[in-house]
Amino acid sequence: MTLNKMRVLAMIAILSLSAYAADVTSLLSGNWSDPTIWSNGVVPTAVDNVTINDTHIITLDAVDAAVNNLTVGNGTSGSFLSSKTMAGKITINGDLVIMSGATFKTQTSTVGVLIHTFTVYGNITNNGGIIALRNGSTSASPQTLAVMNLSLLGTNTVTITMGAPSATNTGFNGATINKTGGAKIILGSDMICGSGSSAAPTAEPIVNLTNGIIETGAYVFISLSTTSATVSAGSSVSYINGTMGRGMSNTAGKLGTFAIGDKNGYRPASVKSSTSGVVTGHYLKVGCFSGNANTGSSTFPDGLIDKVSGVRYYKVSFGRTVAAAVTAPDTMGIDTFRPSYAIGDGVAAGNLNLRCAYSSDDRATWTELHDNYPDLTVASDTVKNYMSDTLASAIFIKDGGKSIYFAIARLTGTTENTLDGTTAIARENGKTNTFVLDQNYPNPFNPSTAISYEINKAGMTNLKVYDVMGREVMMLVNEQQEAGRYNVKFNASSLASGIYLYKLTSGNLSVTKKMSLLK
């Protein structure tokens, strides 16, 4: 092969490679799979950055399209639409951006219910356009409903910003969260999933929490569907860290479960409405917040409880989307609160002294939610809902009005449940002939770690944490224990990073080890 031929082949290879990795723009309106509408004369590929220019309307007519980044509009218009006649799919390996005045939506179907899908590995940013991924009617014959379901995948933390909801910017249908490797989803606005219809069960707005935590911050993750099954149960690896909204039933007595937690872990809650949700677009929102439920000056005027959780509390409020009917009653009655707990919440196993408390005055006072049949407590890493009774008279809340708070509490005069996140003790097995203090795990840790130990005979046992100067900073165990193996979850969220000592003493035996808190 001559040198000139080699140069020609190399140039062809370079040109060929650039054709597969390009900044591609639309030249005119048309179907996605038509190469003549694209600036490079080729249908975009998975490595291309694609921009749909203002005034251009691009219809997804592909069963498996893919791009790197997709930008809809330049600042005044531009549209990405689903097909009216076939189910389409697009994978966006990078970011999706909808510019001001642009549209990303499904068109009503002409062939019955259509279910489109799109997968995004990067950020979703709406800069003032429209996201509307559930359109059409289920009452027509044939049905004209079309939806586009979202999957958020990948190993990178991303931000979702939908923009302000409106009658036209209505949000997503269903959503699957499957972020791996510790990646999270950060909300830059409220994130809304649709309300659904029993007349089209295959197109229900299912929310699948598989992997990855959604951090809401000041915003809310909202599922407007009133069907319980449309939101999967959360878990320690996938839940809403912050506030979740759920549509409540159009009949009274709906018990809604909220897959929420805080920065320290998954702690779901259930709340029941005593009045109907009235119309689509009204929802109840429940948030989970780390910190002491006691403001520092909270009081317990009924005298039945003397302490509320020092670890976390919940907040219940009522909201509605802009699209909800403004003439409907804007209030909802709430009569049941069910918080959850696990190791790390300061609940000891085997007692009947745990309660639920509520506050309707911004945590200034806490009242016991009277319980005729209190739960027998457990100490486990598996979360357990406290099954409280129902209020004799519901508390009413309204959009923009006061909120209700609730938290786990303990009966006055009892001490088994410290509620400070340090003394949930689980006994793992029977008697042992050894006295052992294990190295905590994980180590280093942030903010929680587990400490296991064995005592060889019954006796008064204490487990204390000291700083490197020898000052006691926390008492984890201080009780009479039988011989056996025990596990204690230690939450150090209130302590600074550094080296700490933990010392086990039982009878006349003691042992000390080091651990490292790294925040």
Share of the chain above pLDDT 90, in %: 65
DSSP code for 280: T
Q: Give the per-residue pLDDT at 229.
A: 83
Could you give phi then psi for residue 104, rounded to 5 degrees? Answer: -130, 105
Residue 359 clears pLDDT 50, i.e. is over it: yes
Asked if 38 and 49 count as a contact pair (C-beta separation under 8 A), the reply is no
Pick from 382, 350, 372: which is nearest to 482 by CA? 350
Residue 274 pLDDT? 87
Domain boundaries, the chain: 21-238, 252-414, 424-517
What is the tens place of the pLDDT at every residue in 171-211? 999 999 999 988 999 999 999 999 888 899 999 999 999 99
Structure tokens at 92: 């966006």
Q: How far apart are CA 345 and CA 490, in angstroms?
A: 10
Closest CA to 89 of 124, 111, 115: 115
pLDDT digits (tens, 9 = 90+) for 117-128: 999 999 999 999
Residue 141 burial class via C-beta count within 10 angstroms: exposed 0-12, middle 13-18, buried 19 and up = exposed
C-alpha distances (whole Å) from 83 to each of 29, 45, 86, 254 are 14, 19, 6, 37
424-517: CATH topology is Immunoglobulin-like (2.60.40)
Residue 425 pLDDT class (50, 70, 90 cuts): low
**Closest by alpha carbon to 348, among 408, 283, 388?**
408
Q: What is the predicted pLDDT for the residue at 17?
A: 42
At residue 245, the pLDDT reads 95
- pLDDT score at 277: 61
* pLDDT bracket for residue 28 (50, 70, 90): very high
Q: Region 67-84: what's the mean pLDDT?
A: 97
pLDDT-derived band at 509 (thresholds 50, 70, 90) equals: very high
- Give the mean pLDDT of the chain: 89
The yes-or-no verdict on residue 304 having pLDDT over 80 is yes
> Model confidence at 140, in pLDDT bands (50, 70, 90)?
confident
Of 22, 119, 29, give the one whose Cα is nearest residue 72: 29
Look at 150-164, 328-342, 416-430, 503-517 and tell me which has the smallest mean pLDDT.
416-430
Q: Do the Cβ atoms of 371 and 446 come closer than 8 Å?
A: no
Confidence of residue 12 (pLDDT cuts 50, 70, 90): very low
| CA distances from residue 42 to 30, 156, 237 in whole angstroms, order as listed | 14, 29, 41
Mean pLDDT of 399-410: 92
- Closest alpha carbon to 281 in 163, 174, 193: 193
As a whole number, mean pLDDT of residues 419-424 equals 69
Measured distance CA(153)–CA(204) in Å, rounded: 20
d(CA 252, CA 462): 50
Residue 318 in tokens: 């009522």
The predicted pLDDT at position 430 comes to: 64
